[in-house]
Amino acid sequence: MNKIALITGASSGIGEACAHVFAREGFNLILTGRRAEKLEKLANALNIQYNTEVAVANFDIRNKASVTQNLEQLPEAWKKVDVLINNAGLSKGLDPINAGDTNDWDLMIDTNIKGLLYTSKIVSNWMIANGHGHIVNLGSIAGKEVYPNGNVYCATKHAVDALNKGMRLDLVQHGIKVSAINPGAVETEFSNVRFNGDAERAKKVYEGFTPLAAMDIAETIYFIVSRPAHVNINDLTIMPTAQANAVTFVRK
Ligand code: NDP
Ligand code: 8X3
């Protein structure tokens, strides 16, 4: 019987790349996100390429009732989740605290912290019932450092860092591994979302150096998950070679 990975935010970027890697490695997948069409297309492609069985659960992770309903209505066989990748997340805006848009703050806090919590509560209970599991949390260099105008996004990723430690403390007794991966700059839809679709501004973020690709992160997550049973990688920070910390880049 194939293992099962549940990937939140699988409709683009790192989540989509994880879907490809985990399908290639023989997992069946539960893919979540708001864009149903993208998820269905991905599910079909993985089914054709790898014979992967895929369950698509289409919901907004900010909506507690929707998260609960969509996950709990999955057939019992799909609740034998081996790996949860808490990936769905975003940044909105890059403004000093006095000028920030409070709607952007709500969006980031509700998605990056509360959505991750709603999902983790449900899936960790399934893992406890199954007697094993591995949760991988998408943190960020923004959860290790704070950079100018990053205020609330950095706060949400510092919260993910704290939750990564807290979950590990609470779940170790159940044989559940908890790991975080904290990337620097990865070229995905991330900056486009941060800058409200301003593609020119988004492109500038990655100019003059080679950023990480979503696949770099997906392969590293698979490395974390495929360690022997007695090994857990608690926390891993991964950067483009040209990036030394949150704000220091060598651009040519
Ligand atoms: P993308 O914008 O490419 O992907 C984000 C994913 O999150 C999409 O699949 C999106 O799906 C999903 N998502 C966002 N909001 C919601 C919501 N309300 N409900 C459900 N799903 C949602 O960005 P990345 O792949 O780069 O980001 C993935 C994770 O990696 C995030 O947590 C991000 O903070 C983190 N990260 C990214 C870095 C980068 O430089 N790119 C660096 C460090 C960390 P949909 O829109 O269909 O709902
Ligand atoms: C994404 C990386 O540096 O834009 O989490 O915060 S950064």
* Confidence bin at 1 (pLDDT 50/70/90): confident
Q: For residue 14, what pLDDT band results from cuts at 50, 70 and 90?
A: very high
Mean pLDDT, range 88-92, rounded to an integer: 98
As a whole number, the mean pLDDT across the chain is 98
Tokens of 75: 């057939």
Residue 34's identity, in one-letter code, is R
Residues identified as active-site: 153
Q: Which residues contact 48 (CB under 8 A, 6 or more apart)?
A: none
Task: Report pLDDT for 141.
Answer: 99
Is 73's pLDDT higher than 90?
yes
pLDDT digits (tens, 9 = 90+) for 242-252: 999 999 999 99
Average pLDDT over residues 150-165: 99
State the pLDDT confidence band at 41, using cuts at 50, 70 and 90.
Answer: very high
pLDDT band at 31 (very low <50, low <70, confident <90, very high): very high
In the chain, where the domains are located: 4-238
Q: How confident is the model at residue 130 (pLDDT cuts 50, 70, 90)?
A: very high
Does residue 224 surpass a pLDDT of 90?
A: yes
Mean pLDDT, rounded, for 70-79: 98
Rounded CA-CA distance 127/27 in Å is 16
Does residue 221 line the site of ligand 2, with CB under 6 A? no
Ligand closest to Cα of 116 equals: 1
126 CA from centroid of ligand 2 (Å): 31
**80 exposure class (CB count in 10 Å sphere: 0-12, 13-18, 19+):** middle
* Spatial distance between the Cα atoms of 71 and 57, rounded to a whole number of angstroms: 7
Whether 141 is in the pocket of ligand 2, judged by its Cβ within 6 Å, is yes
DSSP state string for 75-91: -GGGG--SEEEE-----
Prediction pTM value: 0.99
Q: Output the CA torsion sign for 108, 36, 16, 87.
A: positive
Contact 15, 186 (CB under 8 A): no
Q: How far is the CA of 8 from the centre of ligand 2 (A)?
A: 18
> Which pLDDT score, from 0 to 100, does residue 221 have?
99
As for ligand 1, residues whose beta carbon falls within 6 Å of it are 9-15, 33-35, 60-62, 87-90, 111, 138, 140, 183, 185-186, 188-190, 193, 214
The CATH H-level (homologous superfamily) assignment of domain 4-238 is NAD(P)-binding Rossmann-like Domain (3.40.50.720)
Ligand 1 centre to CA of 13 (Å) is 7
pLDDT of residue 30: 98
**126 pLDDT above the threshold of 90:** yes
| CA 220 to ligand 1 centroid distance, Å | 17
CB 181 near ligand 2, within 6 Å:
no
d(CA 90, CA 183): 13
Nearby residues of 89 by Cβ (< 8 Å), 6 or more positions away: 9, 111, 112, 115, 116, 138, 156
CA–centroid distance for 234 within its chain: 16
What does the pLDDT read at residue 205?
A: 98
Whose CA is closest to atom 12 on ligand 1?
Answer: 9
What atom in ligand 2 is closest to the CA of residue 194?
Answer: 4
- Give the pLDDT of residue 10: 98
Residue 107, pLDDT > 90, answer yes
Best of 91, 212, 216 for a ligand 2 pocket test (most atoms within 8 Å of beta carbon): 91
